[in-house]
Amino acid sequence: MHSTLFYGKRKTDSLSRPAQAEFPAFSAVDRLNLDVPLRGSPVREQTLVPLAQVHDSFILAESREGMVLIDQHAAHERVLFENLQDLHRAESIPVQDLLLPEQIEVGPAESALLTEAIPELGRLGLIVEHFGGSTFVIKAVPSLLVGGDYPMLLRDLLDEITVHGRAGRITELRDRVLSVMACHPAIKVNRRLDQREMEALLLDLFSCRMPHTCPHGRPTMVRFSL
């Protein structure tokens, strides 16, 4: 379920760190036969064919029953989220060491929260060290997130932990944390996709366990029956 079409193009000042276990990634472009049954996909959705992109934000696709409008950001969020879930369960999230670690300054309350969360964040592929005082350093990130705004990601994670529970309960909040991590690198609105990218995204989406919503619960698509 790992398409390299989107996050594979990003550039960063980073070095690859071998994953804890081999996790074969492959591009959906290598398997664009949309008539091949996909894991857990209803038959009616195996023949979705992208026709056009609307406002560089939505994919208009044709199905046997009519038309489907797919939110490209929500769809890619779902794909990345389930990728991260699977990698975490296999204890094999590959990470990228940053050549230039990024610093972040936080307040006293956030500092205590982040210090408590560091071990579990590390297990999720986000390697953070306390540099002293209110300063923390981001040293490595999950490979799927390469090229993002890492300080902003960490602040959003802290907000999520603050709202939903203490860092000591982060294991219970893991899916919420992973959903935030998936949101940052997901393709955004106003990004043009070519036909190949649209086909790959739809194929990856319908290889997901829950393709109809993003990790935050928003619908990924709207159907129009003919």
Q: Which tens digit of pLDDT belongs to each residue from 183-216?
A: 999 999 999 999 999 999 999 999 999 999 999 9
Main-chain dihedrals φ then ψ at residue 117, nearest 5 degrees? -85, -15
pLDDT at 157 over 80: yes
Main-chain dihedrals φ then ψ at residue 104, nearest 5 degrees? -140, 135
What is the reported pLDDT for 147?
86
Assigned CATH topology for domain 7-88+187-225:
formyl-coa transferase, domain 3 (3.30.1540)
What is the reported pLDDT for 34?
33
What are the residues facing 135 on neighbouring strands? 105, 132
Structure tokens at 42: 């209803």
E-strand spans in the chain? Answer: 14-17, 49-54, 58-62, 66-71, 95-105, 127-132, 135-142, 221-225
Mean pLDDT of 72-88: 96
Cα(164)–Cα(167) distance, integer angstroms: 9
Domain layout of the chain by residue ranges = 7-88+187-225, 95-183
pLDDT at 75 over 90: yes
Q: Please check whether the two domains, 7-88+187-225 and 95-183, share a CATH topology.
A: no
For 95-183, which CATH superfamily applies?
Answer: MutL, C-terminal domain, regulatory subdomain (3.30.1370.100)
Q: What is the pTM of this model?
A: 0.76
Q: Which amino acid is at 27?
A: S
What is the reported pLDDT for 142?
94
What is the reported pLDDT for 225?
87
What is the reported pLDDT for 77?
97
Collect all residues with Cβ–Cβ distance below 8 Å to 16 and sequence separation of at least 6.
Answer: 94, 96, 97, 143
Query: Is 177 within 8 Å of 215 (Cβ atoms)?
Result: no
Structure tokens at 134: 């209110």
Q: How confident is the model at residue 169 (pLDDT cuts 50, 70, 90)?
A: low
What is the reported pLDDT for 134?
92
Q: Which residue has the higher pLDDT, 42 or 48?
A: 48
